[in-house]
Structure 1
Amino acid sequence: MTQGPEFPEQPEQPQQPEGQQPPPPYGQPTPPPFPQQGYQQPGQQPGYPPPPQQGYPGMPWGASPQAPYGVHPATGLPYSDKQKLVAGLLQIFIGGFGVGRFYMGDTKTGVWQIVVTVLTCGVGALWGLIDGIIILAGDSAKDANGLPLRP
């Protein structure tokens, strides 16, 4: 019998150029090419930038100084300081006098509702009732500045 090496010969590994590290073993994550400087938050993987911050400090989620009440999801316009619920209920209960329209800043329509209610001896108050329902049910109610009423 011939005596041979205890282990079979392994192929030679290619030489790494100076300054480079060999690749990690199979199944291990690859380290980032550069070390991250500064503070690292818990749960954040090293070498990756922190996630972007949403909103502004001290303000509700998603609000900004330009839109303190948030933004309308479909149009992207900032919400008005007026509420849709208040405008609709004022218009339903005191609609003959256009109170909901005055609240929204639409004085022209509010005055017309008063004129129609007076000239029709109160029958025109139906306009205010229907208008209040439309304000509550629709998504197109805007204040005097053209901003959508907040929900």
Structure 2
Amino acid sequence: MTTPPYQPGHPSGVSDKSKVIAGVLQILLGGFGVGRFYMGDTKTGVIQLVVTLVTCGLGSIWGLIDGILILVNGGVDGQGRPLRD
């Protein structure tokens, strides 16, 4: 039995996180970075939260657009694995 060749930059397997759930959370609560926290991307989630608070809510547009992009293009979780459909 042979093992598959190592592919740098692409961890093996698919994430246990759903693209649809991440996108919907990001559209509804993206100003608070909830979709990014769900995906395991805490750094971006915290930045989205701070931007929303500093701009008195206007920064939540970033979360809305980010959620749409997650639904359309997919994304990766905190370990770099692609989100499942």
The bucket for the TM-score relative to the shorter chain is: 0.7 to 0.9
Larger radius of gyration: 1
More helix by share: 2
For residues 94 and 106 of structure 1, the distance between their equivalents in structure 2, rounded to whole angstroms, comes to 15
- Correspondence for 1:131: 66
Give the aligned length: 76
Deviant stretches of 4+, over 6 Å: none
Q: Which runs of 5+ in 1 are unaligned?
A: 1-74
CA shift digits 1:28-58 (9 cap, x unpaired)? xxxxxxxxxxxxxxxxxxxxxxxxxxxxxxx
Q: TM-score, normalised by structure 2?
A: 0.85
- Correspondence for 1:91: 26
- Correspondence for 2:78: 144
For residues 80 and 60 of structure 2, the distance between their equivalents in structure 1, rounded to whole angstroms, comes to 25
Residue identity matched to 2:73: G
SS of equivalent residue, structure 2 residue 52: helix
Give the RMSD, CA atoms, in angstroms. 1.4
CA shift digits 1:55-78 (9 cap, x unpaired)? xxxxxxxxxxxxxxxxxxxx7x42
For residues 111 and 83 of structure 1, the distance between their equivalents in structure 2, rounded to whole angstroms, comes to 20
> Per-residue deviation at 1:79?
1.0
Task: Tell me: higher relative CO, structure 1 or 2? Use CA pairs within 8 A at least 6 residues apart.
Answer: 2
Q: TM-score, normalised by structure 1?
A: 0.48
- Residue 104, structure 1, aligned to residue 39, structure 2: yes
